[in-house]
Amino acid sequence: MSTTDVLYEVSDHIATLTLNRPEQRNTISQAMLNGLSEHLLTADRDEDVRAIVIIGAGKFFCAGLDLTGGDIGPGSDKKEKRVHPTLDLRHTPPTVLHNLNTPTIAAMNGSAAGYGMDLALGCDIRIMADNAKLAAAFTARGIVPESGGTWLLPRMIGWAKASEIIFTGKTLSAPECKDYGLVNSIVGHNEVAEAARTMAKQIAKNAPMAVQASKRMMRMGMDENFDDHVHHVYLQLLPLFQSDDFQEGMKSFLEKRDPEFNGR
């Protein structure tokens, strides 16, 4: 991967990952998959990072996987490719993204198709340009949503609607995505980056350990019954009571001022 294919920067407690192949509509190569995972893990481990924004350079968010280089799928060299039956997917971007504790925002400055759609759906929050589209172009290419879409979409919008989108390979406009509840907000194309950053700043103002714990509890709650879940939430609450941020939160409330959290 070129060191410029995925850009990474941190400022104001926000890590921004930019898919930087605008001429290729930000399609993802095998090397970029590895780089994306590395950057996501770096951001999640950085105590200074309280939110992560993923955006595309140019007019597209991400048009899917790059199948022209021969390093993903059958490739263009016509050589037979064998898929190992025990692939280790623990460090691929969809799995890494799902297990991050740091909140993630997809700044959909342009259209997302295939893998790009799954990448956007894997984020916690999505802000979409009014001229962007979300294309489930999997079955039309002879494949399935391989990067989390078959798990994410039914949970987001229900089985019937997810079936319609996936089985027909449907392309959704920004208003349709909003109607389906797939995006949090729609803004102008030139406003996406700033809107995502504004959202990230709002997240970053809050106690980072509490925000991350809330995300962990939400993720666990998707597969737990209520009684087990509230028990786990209580156990998560105990160490937060001992934190500097809890003391600061209570003190700032009583003093009627904005809190200044240090993440400890």
Tens-digit pLDDT profile for residues 90-149: 678 889 999 999 999 999 999 999 899 999 999 999 999 999 999 998 877 787 787 888
Are residue 133 and residue 145 in the same domain, yes or no? yes
What's the domain count of the chain?
2
Are residue 146 and residue 227 in the same domain, yes or no? no
Confidence check: pLDDT of 81 > 70: no
Residue 164: CA count within 13 A, CB half-sphere? 7
Are residue 235 and residue 172 in the same domain, yes or no? no
pLDDT tens digits, one per residue of 175-230: 999 999 999 999 999 999 999 999 999 999 999 999 999 999 999 999 999 999 99
CATH number of the domain where residue 250 is located? 1.10.12
Confidence check: pLDDT of 158 > 80: yes
State how far the alpha carbon of 98 is from the alpha carbons of 92, 119, 121, 148, 223, in Å. 10, 10, 10, 9, 14
Are residue 197 and residue 220 in the same domain, yes or no? no
Q: Mind spelling out the 3-state secondary structure of 10-73?
A: EECCEEEEEECCHHHCCCECHHHHHHHHHHHHHHHHCCCCCEEEEEECCCEEECCECCCCCCCC
- pTM, 2 dp: 0.89
pLDDT tens digits, one per residue of 41-54: 999 999 999 999 99
Which phi and psi angles does 5 have, rounded to 5°? -70, -30
What region, left, alpha or beta, does residue 193 occupy, with left being phi > 0 and alpha being psi -120 to 50 degrees? alpha
Q: 243 lies in which domain range?
A: 208-254
- Give a yes or no: residue 148 inside a domain: yes
- Counting every residue, how long is the chain? 264
- Give a yes or no: residue 76 inside a domain: yes
Are residue 48 and residue 78 in the same domain, yes or no? yes
Cβ burial, residue 84 (10 Å; 0-12/13-18/19+): exposed
Are residue 47 and residue 138 in the same domain, yes or no? yes
CATH number of the domain where residue 180 is located? 3.90.226.10
- Give a yes or no: residue 64 inside a domain: yes
Cβ burial, residue 131 (10 Å; 0-12/13-18/19+): middle
